[in-house]
Structure 1
């Protein structure tokens, strides 16, 4: 007699929820994979209450779902349930278990999720939520990153517009979206205004706005006169209106980016794990906050450094069949985490000799820049994971590989 057939022993029951915008398809199955109940709940307070009531009635032990955040997950965890996140890419592949058509159907996907939890639960990791402080920090840094991308897009639109309207100002200063460049375009927004400038007038204006003087005003004036002429007259004044529309948008975005940076700084200063991530070389404030927010503070999510590296996409994917072995780029990853880790690793080589040596050796082996950065990022994650799990800061004096490299350099120059 099996355990499942023993009187008084409750048979395991699992459920799958296919998340949607307005309604969620739910499937509850028994330990043999047979559906017990299928239903749909609305994305509302009443709907989520009904969801938990039905799950209670059937004694559901574990639930599979495609995403790990939002009101549905919050309601399930608040009820003390074990939630397993099965990414959509895996669900798509798992459909092949049950047929070759591979069609997308909400009710069927709910069953696939429930059955996957039933059969593969030992391979799945229960969802562990980060603290509210980390969740808040993650929202702040991701929003700032989105706004920075918007600023780049608007700057590119402004540059394309100025190619015709006012070519002389595009490369006048180092960056078109720098404060001095935007101030200049705001003041001298037409070709007629540029033609009015003389070296003396340009010098006076630059002095009035506190220009740092990195480039001599005479050189700047020469750049203006050597550039192709823009649109003058009434047409030029009409195009200046478009210029100011882009400038106003850039000003608004930049102001909000600065405000978010201040919020990020305040949130990071209060976070218990702040010391770990700010101790990393060239981590700064925003970069340290991104690393902390994307890695999180739920230690149980990453039992090994390798599990963190795989989710970050800096460990290659290896496929082997017989004598054939293929090592390929890992696609199914947390892209936000990979971006944060690679951004840190790529810049760390400018301040850490060990990181620079690891990167240079990867380049010398023929790897391109992104690949070399991922190799360096994987090495850094071993260190970060150790610091993260032991709640200790990064100490260059305790970094054996770094000290070994420094000792070699001292011996070579001695």
Structure 2
């Protein structure tokens, strides 16, 4: 198939005027330059509803219909797009290096940065692309999956904190069940929150409690009790009772986090089911609901944003960064990427090898070449993005029967026995 067409800026700016906006949390500095790079206007607007209306009005008064900005999301970008202005995103990393074009000091100043943004939009038009926003359904899904990801990170951090706390307060509870933050583990700690309460347990009592709690694990109660008895003793008496308060506080927060994560997952499932591109991402092996939603949300639905698979792989950070000078050439890890996208793609790729022979072969071959797990996962993720990109551009579900590399692997003649 042919690669998707790319959007580009006209050779010259409308009215020969470009603007740059340095975004901040309380106010925004704007600079307007003409076709010769001369500053024709500067002003500051507050980050309020009235301020954003004033922003678009004053830009129209200066004749600026193109605005360079450092980030493409949030109310500022939305206000500019809603007013019919062309928004061009120039990342903070690019601005950092572009400052040296205008002086060797490279000092950070909001007024100066707004000028750099405006002038770069004037001079580097051939390399810049206008911001094309995603559909509102995609933006909503992205906000939901990122909120869930943040809560999961909080849950992991709190679980680690609880584990460190229990190492002194009640060591026997650590490792008793498969996961410290599993429902059965949290229920056990809610009932037996200190060493003194756990000392009351016998095999018969523990068996009865596990049955009442609906324990579905395969560990015999005698094995669980032996774990409690063999572990170092925790704090007891007044000290144990005091530490139990901390245990209960962490359990309460963990339970709340688990509840809210579950609620967000229900929202993600509903939003994904209503999305026009859902079938593309849910068809991928072991994508499930949350993984499919994360991939869709981070890739987006604007096909022109990634004119070829390489552009998508670079933004996802799964393509290496190559530097060459004279006879020296180095291939290094790519740092300037969309970290949310890289995390989503690598999470999917790492698990896909358990259900897809082609993915497993690519991963195992990378490991055999001496790559570690993260590197091998990025190699596999890059290969997957080429497949995903074609499915995404064609709005077609992934079909293993049409995956040439997979079919070639499956149709290989089995090795003849000696």
Common fold by TM > 0.5: yes
2:227 to 223, 229, 245: 223
Tell me how far 1:37 sits from its aligned partner. 0.7
Change over 3 Å in CA distance of 1:344–1:213 after alignment to 2: closer
Distance in 1 (alpha carbons) for counterparts of 2:52 and 2:14 = 25
Question: What's the RMSD between the two structures over aligned residues?
Answer: 1.4
Q: Does the alignment pair 1:342 with 2:358?
A: no
Task: Please give the residue correspondences for 1:277-292 in structure 2 after superposition, counting only pairs within 5 Å.
Answer: 277-292=281-296
Q: Does the alignment pair 1:124 with 2:124?
A: no
* Structure 1 partner of 2:357: 353
* Structure 2 partner of 1:4: none
Distance in 2 (alpha carbons) for counterparts of 1:12 and 1:189 = 71
Q: Does the alignment pair 1:95 with 2:75?
A: no
Change over 3 Å in CA distance of 1:32–1:169 after alignment to 2: same
* Structure 2 partner of 1:140: 144
On the 8 A contact 1:27/1:111 being kept in 2, the answer is yes
Q: Does the alignment pair 1:389 with 2:397?
A: no
Q: Does the alignment pair 1:255 with 2:259?
A: yes
* Structure 2 partner of 1:58: 62
Tell me how far 1:132 sits from its aligned partner. 0.8
* Structure 2 partner of 1:363: 367
The number of residue pairs the alignment matches comes to 406
* Structure 2 partner of 1:34: 38
Distance in 2 (alpha carbons) for counterparts of 1:95 and 1:120 = 14
Distance in 2 (alpha carbons) for counterparts of 1:195 and 1:43 = 59
Deviations 1:113-136 (CA, angstroms, capped at 9, x unpaired): 001111111111110111111111
* Structure 2 partner of 1:185: 189
On the 8 A contact 2:176/2:224 being kept in 1, the answer is yes
On the 8 A contact 2:139/2:297 being kept in 1, the answer is yes
Distance in 2 (alpha carbons) for counterparts of 1:213 and 1:337 = 35
On the 8 A contact 1:12/1:61 being kept in 2, the answer is no
* Residue segments in structure 2 that go unaligned for 5+ positions in a row: 1-12
Change over 3 Å in CA distance of 1:186–1:92 after alignment to 2: same
Q: Does the alignment pair 1:75 with 2:66?
A: no
Deviations 1:223-244 (CA, angstroms, capped at 9, x unpaired): 1111111111222112111110
Deviations 1:195-246 (CA, angstroms, capped at 9, x unpaired): 1111111111111111114101111111111111111122211211111001
Distance in 1 (alpha carbons) for counterparts of 2:181 and 2:118 = 51
Tell me how far 1:411 sits from its aligned partner. 6.0
Deviations 1:267-323 (CA, angstroms, capped at 9, x unpaired): 001001000000000000000000000000011111111111111111111122222
What is the SS of the residue equivalent to 1:38? strand
What is the SS of the residue equivalent to 1:231? coil
Task: Please give the residue correspondences for 1:283-362 in structure 2 after superposition, counting only pairs within 5 Å.
Answer: 283-362=287-366
Task: Please give the residue correspondences for 1:161-176 in structure 2 after superposition, counting only pairs within 5 Å.
Answer: 161-176=165-180
What is the SS of the residue equivalent to 1:26? strand
Distance in 1 (alpha carbons) for counterparts of 2:271 and 2:183 = 27
Tell me how far 1:379 sits from its aligned partner. 0.5
2:115 to 111, 114, 117: 111
On the 8 A contact 2:15/2:63 being kept in 1, the answer is no
Task: Please give the residue correspondences for 1:264-279 in structure 2 after superposition, counting only pairs within 5 Å.
Answer: 264-279=268-283
Question: Which runs of at least 4 in structure 1 moved beyond 6 Å after TM superposition?
Answer: none
* Structure 2 partner of 1:199: 203
Tell me how far 1:50 sits from its aligned partner. 2.0
- TM-score normalised by structure 1 residue count: 0.96
Task: Report the more deviating stretch, 210-219 or 316-325.
Answer: 316-325
Q: Which has the higher contact order (CA 8 A, sep 6+)?
A: 2
Tell me how far 1:11 sits from its aligned partner. 4.6
Task: Please give the residue correspondences for 1:15-30 in structure 2 after superposition, counting only pairs within 5 Å.
Answer: 15-30=19-34
Deviations 1:345-380 (CA, angstroms, capped at 9, x unpaired): 111011100001001111111111111111111110
* Structure 2 partner of 1:242: 246
What is the SS of the residue equivalent to 1:173? coil
Distance in 2 (alpha carbons) for counterparts of 1:325 and 1:33 = 37
* Residue segments in structure 1 that go unaligned for 5+ positions in a row: 1-8
* Structure 1 partner of 2:50: 46
